[in-house]
Chains A and B, each alone.
Chain A
Amino acid sequence: MTLVSALIIPGIIIRTKSLCSGRKGPALFQPLFDAGVLLRKGVVLSPVTTLVFRIAPSVSLASVLTAVLLVPMGRQDALLSFSADFVYFTYILALGRFFMILAALDTGSSFEGMGANREALYSLLVEPVFLLLLGTYAMFTGYTSFSEIFSHFYFSNNYAFIAGILGFYLLIQIAMVENSRLPVDDPKTHLELTMVHEVMILDYSGPDLAIIHFSTWIKFALYGALVSNSLVPSGWPVALQTGLFLLLQLSFGIIIGLLESFRARNKMTKNPQFILTLTAIALLVFTIMLLSSYMSSK
């Protein structure tokens, strides 16, 4: 299901942004058609690059596909589930990113070096937010795998409700940072000097570029799935759950599109501060949950 929504979310975001700017916008599946064109094209390799540059897109795709296996759909169990798998999830994605950063450095371009530097910094900073949030959920539910966390996650009391709202906000912001969208990065810009993710993949062409696009979309849908899962009620039949899940994924795309339409991007130096604020909010969630369990144990 995550894969299905991965195919449609990019189109939704673009369409939402177009509508917000008073335009019609491209077809919903235009990004897919573009990727199809890329797949049919040849690859141009820079003579200074090495093996790292060539395997990085595949490693990146493999890492997100593995991560997909860990994420449940609604309250249905994930394909792969073991205790503390959210830590595995974080680092399998980090592995893919690590290779992309190496590949960017591999080209020897000054732009890509800058982009790799920024990407490394922001993902380093956003990691504690994610782990803190999931750690809190794990503590709250008493389980440590995605499937179990989500199947036992419910809004039992006011504390959990507050934590749920904050968690929802955090997951959306993490998704924005991890996938290089506003306000940290601007996927639309054509200016190499301001790019983060886009500048790292400047040297890729053809199928390699298509693979990178696929993995970016899937990664985005992955975070969308995490957001949706926390909202799907567990009592419903599977078909309804699936429908609601897809609907939530759609609204995730629309929310991102809206968020991006009506604000400007951060100054580059403000980004670390912005991400650290997210960490602070994650700490707040943790404190609330701690209070909640303290109160209920009384």
Chain B
Amino acid sequence: MKDTLIISDTSLPVSLAEIPVTAYALFRQRVLTAMADENMHCVSYFAFPDDGEYRFICILADDQTHQLCLMGHRDQGPFLSLTADNPAFHVFEREIYERTGILPEEHPWLKPLRFSVDRQNSHKGMDHYPFFNIAGDELHEVGVGPVHAGIIEPGHFRFICHGEKVLHLEIQLGYQHRGIERMMESSRGGLSHALLAESIAGDSVIGHASTHAAVIETLSGSRLSASLSIERAVALELERIAMHTGDSAALCADVAYQLGQVVYESLRTIIINTTQRWCGNRFGKGLVRPHGTWFPLNEDLGRIICNNLDAVMERLLPMVDRLFTLPSVVSRFDGTGAVSRSQMLAVGAVGMAARSAGLKRDIRWSHPSMPWKETAFQPVVLETGDVMARAMLRKIETEQSVSLIRHWIDQIKEQAGAIEQPDYQRTLLPDALAVQLTEGWRGEICHVAITDKHGKIMCYKIIDPSFHNWMALALAVRMQEISDFPVCNKSFNLSYCGHDL
């Protein structure tokens, strides 16, 4: 049996029996060798119960060959951790330990991921939480959260500072854990799955909902029509524009630049109101459903979207010029919170955070699905990896998304096929695995579903880009001023609930 399964078309389901199960030592060696190539990164690594044991599946994405590599092993006892050799695996192995209790040996920092206590050893309460410590008379600790002064989600940030300078930041999450994956596995499916997928992260509704829909469609063996795939792509790009604009407003607010803040905020309103005009919800809830749509994108809607985008761009471009030439703003953004390309690579960062530091990782380019395949899409990659780069990337990606949407909406006029309606009843293939990747506005969203022998989903894994990227934020604020943390944080704008699930 081969030790690696390579798939190049994710719209086809994979039979569970085809996924290799090798001895752990061989698996470990194969994974680490593959990951030595910087075009490879881990999109998912998880365990699920199988015949009284745990079966592990690791999915690596190859950006150069546009393929996915699947590897697996079956274990019950502790094994030598991958993190010991490649830090990008640290969150995955923490998650596996938290779920299964199988100890990854020599894991450098095996602390809880989504719970406040060690689940496998719960009498060790919060008092024994392994916070990182540095001893020294001149150092002081600042703890922020989990309840914050602003309207942000709960998370605890513990800084070790020397005066105003941050030496180390430890981020503790898990306050938003709702058990979405478990609900996915226990619910009957159909509509409830779609609703759960929309609720994974409120700012990536389209991203998660369309990834989920694609997983269900793959498992039921159906192919998406061209018009439906275009519709989802337009919705995804609209979400990207809305979030990038909203984040730019928040960046301005954090440096107390009032004009930028209010202009961006008002433009974001126009964009999300466009989504509301389309599907009745500003964040796109209800828009994406498996197998069909209740809100087909027709010519009229296309015209409204284009007109609104024109109105937005007309006001956005002068604002952007002003923002990036205003000395007081530039001095705040430039060089703040820089993360190097090698750091991004080491922590396995994805999405716009990785692209801001010169790491070309974009699912729309590396593993494109239908409408992107035809557009010869090229991702924007910047070099400096600081707040300026992330602000600038938002500006360029917004322009890029606007032209993509215009291009696709022009195509709608030519084709007006039959409207497919959502279908929640289709049976899923038994003993199969489907993996889908979508480039949400923040980065790659990965959903993996595995069905049992009755065609019921028995394992559903969700990886939000935040899962990969929180560590990059912790690195970004090292040796920075503590007062620059908010603007660094906002430049990443990572999801708490997407991480906590």
Contacts and interface: CB of A to CB of B under 8 A. Distances in A.
Nearest to A22: B262
A263 B260 CA distance: 9
A183 B481 contact: no
Contacts of A191: 149-150, 254, 486
A192 B142 CA distance: 11
B258 interface: yes
B379 to A, nearest CB: 29
Interface string B320-335: 0000001011011000
Contacts of B485: 193
Most chain-A Cβ atoms within 10 A of its Cβ — which of B257, B329, B331, B336? B257
A41 interface: no
Interface residues of A, number: 31
A113 B144 CA distance: 14
Interface string B254-276: 11111111100010000000000
B75 interface: no
B482 interface: yes
A186 B253 CA distance: 10
Nearest to B262: A21
A114 B258 contact: no
Nearest to A261: B258
Given A193-B483, A194-B483, A262 B256 contact: no
Contact of B142 (A17, A110, A268): A110
A20 B481 contact: no
A208 B296 CA distance: 59
Contacts of A190: 149-150
A290 to B, nearest CB: 32
A111 B142 contact: yes
B141 interface: yes
Nearest to A192: B149
Contacts of A268: 164, 481, 483-484
A120 to B, nearest CB: 13
Interface residues of B, number: 32
A269 interface: yes
B258 A192 contact: no
B173 interface: no
Contact of A188 (B256, B332, B481): B256
Interface in A1-57: 17, 20-23
Nearest to B323: A264
A294 to B, nearest CB: 37
21 contacts: A23-B262, A111-B142, A114-B482, A117-B163, A182-B256, A183-B256, A191-B149, A191-B150, A191-B254, A193-B485, A260-B256, A264-B256, A264-B260, A265-B257, A265-B328, A265-B332, A266-B328, A266-B331, A267-B332, A267-B483, A268-B164
Interface of A: 17, 20-23, 110-111, 113-114, 117, 182-183, 186, 188-194, 260-270
Given A21-B261, A260-B256, A269-B164, 20 more contacts: A21-B258, A21-B259, A21-B262, A22-B266, A110-B140, A110-B143, A114-B482, A188-B256, A190-B150, A191-B149, A193-B482, A260-B258, A262-B258, A264-B257, A264-B329, A265-B255, A265-B256, A265-B257, A267-B336, A269-B481
Interface of B: 140-144, 149-150, 163-164, 252, 254-262, 266, 326, 328-329, 331-332, 336, 481-486
